[in-house]
């Protein structure tokens, strides 16, 4: 039997004439019909030139696969790992890493469709990796979790809370593992931005003392970071308070220009520290139209204390504490009036004291009110029966020991009527405490304080031991609807109590008691 071919009409039209041929295989294969087939094959030739080529096979679906590392694999922190991948129908890929599987960070971009990338394992506990088609962000393949071993640990131990003033030491301590060097920084905005304190500090010892610069913030933070792994950080858990204390203020408070019976060696000038911190007088100069005394290195004047500079050592009056003899041996204070000047170590005028010629022999001039910066200068006898009071307040008591005005009592007065205290907080007094108020109900209570060289502020008691401080021109901030029993208020030395006010809704008795405390100090030569 002869076989046949079935072709389309289009192909039949391209048959090469005379090309049809029957292959006589029985002639070359013995017993062909019994062992092979009962058909004889037919061959034919066709002209296929000019026909379109067959269509190409469809491309594979785009895909990306991360080959290594594989899920569950353990990696070594700070070591290099090879990441390998392959993809189909993708132009380029990117690699991402995540420590939690939700937030991803791009670690490499524009990589070939198939390839490998060396990457340093970060200091995290767990890790996931993924490869993504850069043309379609959600076409990714991720693996994980990958366990990270030998990772570095860093924890800030202190400070975690507290308050410091400029110039005070701040002790910083931390604990770490697999960390060789640490960078320290601070923030004044709760950690939004950071400023370097020190860099590349050796892990041993794991502590650092930072002298607080002139910073003012109630939202301070301190942070320690691994130098070689900046993302490994630990910071204070709560806000820290950085304070800038009031600038040092030393005033010329008293002077004896008209010496008794011509004993010029007894002329003296009294300086008073009215700031809340000790003042270094090293290199400061006292004089009038010429320098008369230069303070030696290491001379400190404690807060609220006075130092008396006499013309000569022999002229220092008996019983006067913290007294020095002038370095020039004379003060040359004119009896008919003049101006005494105090210059700081930079040669800048710190204070002046102008007096007239109205005194008589042995009578001093004094600030009025006593110990108040920028106050007028008057005869000492206008403040006290005493002619002079070298080293003490005008009334002869120690600076810082004078109480506020006696107990202020308000009872059944018109609503909002102020008690005009007009009492000066004694120089050197740092704390106004034991503010007691009885029977307050839906009330507000306000003290108005004038600080040296500053505007008035209103201080209002809140529930418990807390105080709200508000500018005096914003009294609405001082309105209170709470009961309180006591509070403490920290004041700058030389602060001035202007008035005390209260407002109530009933007619019960109001009783206020104001007390003060202070600490003595000495001049350190």
What's the pLDDT tens digit per position in 469-497?
Answer: 333 333 333 323 222 333 334 333 333 34
Domains 63-149 and 250-382 share a fold: yes
pLDDT of residue 326: 96
Residue of 343 and 9 predicted with greater confidence:
343
User: Which strands, in side-by-side order, build the sheet including 268-273?
Assistant: 323-325, 306-310, 268-273, 250-256, 365-368, 376-379
Task: Give per-residue pLDDT as tens, 256-296.
Answer: 999 988 899 999 999 998 876 788 999 999 999 899 999 99
Whether the model pTM is above 0.95? no
User: For residues 431 and 247, what is the distance between their CA atoms, to the nearest angstrom?
Assistant: 18
CATH class label, 155-243: mainly beta
pLDDT at 467: 34
pLDDT at 247: 67
Q: 63-149 — its CATH code?
A: 2.60.40.10
Q: Which residues pair with 21 in a beta bridge?
A: 43
pLDDT of residue 166: 78
- How confident is the model over 32-71, as pLDDT tens digits? 778 877 788 888 888 877 777 778 888 889 999 999 998 8
What average pLDDT does this structure show over 67-95? 91
What does the alpha-carbon distance between residue 98 and residue 148 come to, in Å, rounded to a whole number? 12
Domain ranges of the chain: 1-51, 63-149, 155-243, 250-382, 408-517
CB atoms within 10 A of CB 443: 21
CATH number of the domain located at residue range(s) 408-517 in this protein: 2.60.120
| CA separation, residue 515 to residues 411, 436, 452, 457 (Å) | 20, 10, 20, 19
Is 127's pLDDT higher than 50? yes
Q: Confidence class of residue 82 from pLDDT cuts 50, 70 and 90?
A: very high
Q: Is the pLDDT of residue 504 over 90?
A: no
Any residues with CB less than 8 A from the CB of 440 and at least 6 apart, and which? 483, 484, 504, 510
Q: Provide mean pLDDT across the span 153-173.
A: 87
- The continuous run of DSSP H or E covering 35 comes out as helix 32-35
Structure-token match 């507290």, residue found: 162
Structure confidence at residue 315 (pLDDT): 92
pLDDT of residue 275: 76
Q: What architecture is domain 250-382?
A: Sandwich (2.60)
* 224-244 average pLDDT score: 87
């Amino acid at each position: 039997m002869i076989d046949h071919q079935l072709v389309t009409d289009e192909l039949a039209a391209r048959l090469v004439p005379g090309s049809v041929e029957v292959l006589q295989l029985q002639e070359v294969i013995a017993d062909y019909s019994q062992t092979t087939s009962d058909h004889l094959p037919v061959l034919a030739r066709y002209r296929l030139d000019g026909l379109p080529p067959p269509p190409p096979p469809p491309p594979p679906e785009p895909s990306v696969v991360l080959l290594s590392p594989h899920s569950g694999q353990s990696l070594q922190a700070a070591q290099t790992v090879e990441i390998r991948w392959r993809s189909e129908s993708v132009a380029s890929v990117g690699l991402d890493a995540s420590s939690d599987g939700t937030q991803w960070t791009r670690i490499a971009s524009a990589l070939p469709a198939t390839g490998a990338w060396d990457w340093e394992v970060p200091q995290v506990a767990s890790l996931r990796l993924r490869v993504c088609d850069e043309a379609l962000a959600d076409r990714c393949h991720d693996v994980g979790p990958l366990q990270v071993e030998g990772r570095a640990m860093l924890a800030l131990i202190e400070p975690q809370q507290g308050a410091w003033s400029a110039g005070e030491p701040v002790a910083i301590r931390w604990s770490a593992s697999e960390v060789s060097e640490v960078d320290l920084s601070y923030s004044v905005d709760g950690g939004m931005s950071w400023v370097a304190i020190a860099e590349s500090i050796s892990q041993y010892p794991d502590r650092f003392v930072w002298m607080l610069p002139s910073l003012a913030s109630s939202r301070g933070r301190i942070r320690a970071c691994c130098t070689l792994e900046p993302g490994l950080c630990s910071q204070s858990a709560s806000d820290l308070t950085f304070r800038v204390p009031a600038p040092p203020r030393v005033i010329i408070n008293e002077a004896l220009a008209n010496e008794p019976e011509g004993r010029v060696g007894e002329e003296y000038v009294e300086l008073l520290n009215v700031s809340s911190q000790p003042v270094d007088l090293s290199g400061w100069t006292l004089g009038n139209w010429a320098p008369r005394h230069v303070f030696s290195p290491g001379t400190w004047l404690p807060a609220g204390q006075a130092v008396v500079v006499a013309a000569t050592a022999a002229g220092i009056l008996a019983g006067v504490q913290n007294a020095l003899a002038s370095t020039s041996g004379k003060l040359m204070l004119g009896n008919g009036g003049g101006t005494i000047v105090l210059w700081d170590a930079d040669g800048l005028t710190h204070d002046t004291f102008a007096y007239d010629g109205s005194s008589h022999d042995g009578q001093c001039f004094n600030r009025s009110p006593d110990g108040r910066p920028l106050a007028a200068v008057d005869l000492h006898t206008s403040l006290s029966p005493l002619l002079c009071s070298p080293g003490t307040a005008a009334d002869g008591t120690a600076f810082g020991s004078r109480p506020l005005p006696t107990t202020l009592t308000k009872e059944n007065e018109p609503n909002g009527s102020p008690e005009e205290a007009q009492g000066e907080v004694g120089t050197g007094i740092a704390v106004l405490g034991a503010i007691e108020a009885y029977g307050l109900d839906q009330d507000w209570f306000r003290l108005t304080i004038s600080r040296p060289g500053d505007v008035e502020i209103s201080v209002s008691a809140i529930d418990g031991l807390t105080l709200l401080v508000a500018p005096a021109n914003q009294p609405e901030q001082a309105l209170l609807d709470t009961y309180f029993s006591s509070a403490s208020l920290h004041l700058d030395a030389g602060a001035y109590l202007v008035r005390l006010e209260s407002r109530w809704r009933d007619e019960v008795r109001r009783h206020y008691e104001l007390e003060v405390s202070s600490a003595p100090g000495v001049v350190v030569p």
